[in-house]
Structures are given as structure tokens and as C-alpha cells.
Chain A
Amino acid sequence: KAGVTQTPRYLIKTRGQQVTLSCSPISGHRSVSWYQQTPGQGLQFLFEYFSETQRNKGNFPGRFSGRQFSNSRSEMNVSTLELGDSALYLCASSTGASGANVLTFGAGSRLTVL
């Protein structure tokens, strides 16, 4: 079956712009999580959505937001981009039950902010 699909795969933006990233989870998966990966900080948890509700949120500023649609697809948005937002943004899906679920990652969206 199809894996986790993220679009776009690569994008370049300038400071001050905003960006929207999309994630389609594995069919039947209801939980979608977002992570930011940078060389200095590693993988950092952004937020998790389950059944269209944000269930968990990491320590990121309010410029980072997300949402989930009724078909479990998710989007994340970063407004007023800063140079430090350059990173690989990873989406992961799981069936949704708390705690013990395996997360399957998409290929990621690589954002470069100039």
C-alpha cells in the first residue's frame, strides 16, 4: 500500500514569506505528526493531529501551525519565515492509539529560506 506522501519535496522561500506543506498519511492511519530536522537540533517534535484535533504540541513559536482534514490529510504552515526555519520537515503517520504506535515517516519536505 502507498506510504506517507509529502509535498512539495523541495522548496525555496525568502525571509518573511509563508509556506504550506502537505502530508497524506497511509490509508487507514488517523494520526499525523510533524517533525523538524536540522543538523544542530536533530529531530524536533512540532505537533500531532488525530481525528482533526491537535493532540500534542512541541515547543515551537506560534508561527508554526497545522491542521488535519476529515480524510486525515494534514498541512502545516510556517508564517513570517526566518533563516533558522531552513530544515527538513518530516511527516509521520500511525494508526492513532496512544503511546505504542509505530510511526512511518514520509520522505520529507526540504525547506530553504534565503
Chain B
Amino acid sequence: QKEVEQNSGPLSVPEGAIASLNCTYSDRVSQSFFWYRQYSGKSPELIMSIYSNGDKEDGRFTAQLNKASQYVSLLIRDSQPSDSATYLCAVFTGGGNKLTFGTGTQLKVEL
């Protein structure tokens, strides 16, 4: 079992719709969770961080965390073509700053 799992997609949504991206993780003691966005040919950039159960909203983005189910999700409201990218779920595992990434979900927002 992979430590962090994501559906690779592509996930296609029409412009203006809600995109829902999901991630599960295996290490129950994980405490910090992140969503990064990566455009083709670019490096990952942080969108959201979440540390406690529940929802965290930032503009059009909402991160949801359920530690009991070991599940993290990212909702993107009013999706725009500029949101088309690969979304990486990342979890801190172990000591220090070791970040374990999922393989990413490719999102395509269609006009």
C-alpha cells in the first residue's frame, strides 16, 4: 500500500463547476497535510495546509481533513481554466521535514 494515494485522473470538470480532489494516507500519526498545485513544466506551489479535522477555506479552495478515515480532500469552487494543473497531496511522515507526496491528480477545466 502506498503511503499517500490519489486518483491520477484526469478529472475533467466544466468551467464554473466544483472540482473535488481526494487523497488517502496510511500513517495514522501524520499530523500535517498539504495540497500543492503543479503546472506542466513548473515546480509545485502550495495551495492549502490543514492540520486539524474539519474544513479550512481560502478563497475558492476548501481543504477537508478526516483523521479517523485518513482522508484529505480539496474542493475548488467556480473552477477556472487556469486551475487546470496537477494537484499533489502531501503528508508529513517521520521526523524532520520529510514530506510524502501522492502521485497527483490531473485536473482539466473545460470551457
Contacts and interface: CB of A to CB of B under 8 A. Distances in A.
Interface of A: 31, 33, 35, 41-43, 45, 48, 50, 55-56, 58, 90, 92, 94, 96, 98-108
B66 interface: no
Contacts of A92: 99
Contacts of B102: 42
A43 B88 contact: yes
B26 interface: no
**Dominant secondary structure at the A interface:** strand
A70 B93 CA distance: 26
Contact of B99 (A33, A50, A55, A106): A33
A55 B43 contact: no
- Report which residue of B32, B43, B44, B100 has the largest number of chain A beta carbons within 10 angstroms of its beta carbon: B43
A50 B43 contact: no
A103 B44 CA distance: 10
Range of interface residues on chain B? 20 to 34
Interface of B: 31-32, 34, 42-46, 49, 51, 88, 92, 94-104
A90 B43 contact: yes
Nearest to A108: B43
**Dominant secondary structure at the B interface:** loop
A80 B102 CA distance: 29
A99 B44 contact: no
30 contacts: A33-B99, A35-B101, A42-B103, A45-B100, A48-B96, A48-B97, A50-B97, A55-B97, A56-B94, A56-B96, A56-B97, A90-B43, A90-B44, A94-B97, A98-B97, A99-B95, A99-B97, A100-B32, A100-B51, A100-B92, A101-B97, A102-B46, A103-B46, A103-B97, A103-B99, A104-B46, A105-B43, A105-B45, A107-B42, A108-B43
